[in-house]
């Protein structure tokens, strides 16, 4: 994680970079999940689910005492740096409210522009949320033990569920790594042809996956990628983030009918919350997903609870 925070420093406005580089801040590198920059408002840090105020000298405080307040120009400078001095080349992703830089997913909000009735980016940036990716190879241990015990034939497709910022992507990344590097499947050693659909370039990192046999399609719409990779890469497992609409669910259904197993994620508090979305419910009903893995916090620690579809059929 230390390396990850260090990698973002060159893209930050000078005052924030100084605060992040300071010794008091660097002590907390390991716990940091997000850096939140706001124009004319305090800069905060999300560390283990807590919101902390960042001061000019790099101190982190639970209360807002002399916080670091950035200007709109500093936010613009940060966006320009994140775009490598070529904002136009990130036009499509900025239009959708994010930039991906070296696996950092940076969310952007501000005063929007509408052209011909469609959102067309921002004329002014008011908030930037830099999410620090966690490259842990053992985040999916609970799920891997489950697979080792029951085998993928019995677990079927897996849907990872959690509210935003709890660790869905970290778990997916770690699971994709293990499945394509070698794991125990119902007592047997297995390596699967995994294809990662990485629409926003936040799951895959060439460095992290260097010793695996996984393939990746990135920066293209998820639905299109699912169809494409099923056709041309003949994957055994497809890993993708955040199923969000009917079209994506439909493409997943089609690919699953050809024998591809899916590991995907969805925003929600628990299983009962996500199956309120008809397209997710349908994916469970027809057996695309047979296992749900819910991530949450219990007594300050991250916990992962795994449920089979038949266990939740009463919902």
Give the footprint of other proteins on this chain (CB under 8 A): 76, 80-81, 83-89, 91, 94, 120-121
Q: Decide whether 58 or 121 has the Cβ nearer to other proteins.
A: 121
- Read off the tokens for 198: 């990485």
Rounded-to-integer distance, Cα 252 and Cα 142, Å: 25
Q: Decide whether 85 or 164 has the Cβ nearer to other proteins.
A: 85
Q: How far is the CB of 103 from other proteins (least distance, A)?
A: 17
Q: Decide whether 107 or 182 has the Cβ nearer to other proteins.
A: 107
Q: How far is the CB of 217 from other proteins (least distance, A)?
A: 19
Q: Decide whether 87 or 191 has the Cβ nearer to other proteins.
A: 87
Q: Decide whether 110 or 167 has the Cβ nearer to other proteins.
A: 110
Rounded-to-integer distance, Cα 47 and Cα 53, Å: 11
Q: How far is the CB of 78 from other proteins (least distance, A)?
A: 12
Quick check: 173 and 140 in contact, CB under 8 A? no
DSSP 109-136: EEEEEEETTEEEEEEEEEEEEEE-----
Rounded-to-integer distance, Cα 16 and Cα 287, Å: 48
**Distances, alpha carbon 66 to alpha carbons 12, 37, 71, 224, 256, in Å:** 20, 15, 15, 48, 54
Quick check: 237 and 262 in contact, CB under 8 A? yes
Q: How far is the CB of 99 from other proteins (least distance, A)?
A: 12
Q: How far is the CB of 120 from other proteins (least distance, A)?
A: 8
């Amino acid at each position: 994680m230390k390396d990850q925070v260090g990698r973002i420093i060159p893209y930050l406005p000078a005052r924030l970079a100084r605060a992040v580089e300071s010794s008091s801040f660097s002590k907390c590198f390991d716990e940091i999940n997000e850096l939140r920059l706001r124009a004319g408002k305090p800069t905060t840090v999300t560390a283990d689910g807590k919101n902390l105020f960042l001061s000019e000298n790099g101190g982190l405080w639970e209360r807002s005492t002399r916080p670091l307040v950035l200007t709109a120009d500093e936010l613009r400078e940060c966006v320009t740096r994140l775009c490598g001095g070529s904002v136009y080349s990130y036009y499509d992703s900025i239009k959708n409210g994010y930039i991906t830089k070296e696996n950092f997913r940076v969310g952007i909000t501000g005063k929007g522009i509408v052209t011909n009735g469609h959102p067309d980016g921002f004329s002014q940036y008011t908030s930037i949320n830099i999410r620090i990716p966690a490259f842990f190879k053992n985040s999916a241990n609970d799920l891997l033990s489950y697979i080792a015990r029951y085998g993928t034939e019995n677990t079927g497709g897996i849907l990872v569920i959690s509210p935003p910022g709890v660790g869905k992507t970290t778990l997916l990344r770690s699971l994709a790594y293990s499945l394509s590097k070698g794991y125990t499947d119902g007592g047997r050693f297995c390596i699967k042809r995994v294809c990662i659909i990485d629409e926003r370039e936040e799951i895959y990192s060439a460095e992290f996956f260097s010793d695996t046999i996984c393939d990746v399609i990135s920066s293209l719409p998820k639905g299109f990628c699912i169809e494409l990779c099923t056709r041309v890469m003949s994957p055994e497992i497809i890993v993708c983030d955040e199923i969000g609409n009917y079209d994506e669910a439909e493409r997943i259904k089609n690919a699953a009918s050809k024998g591809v197993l899916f590991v995907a994620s969805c925003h929600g508090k628990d299983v009962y919350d996500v199956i309120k979305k008809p397209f997710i419910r349908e994916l469970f009903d027809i057996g695309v997903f047979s296992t749900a893995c819910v991530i949450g916090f219990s007594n300050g620690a991250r916990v992962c609870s795994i449920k089979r579809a038949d266990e939740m059929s009463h919902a």
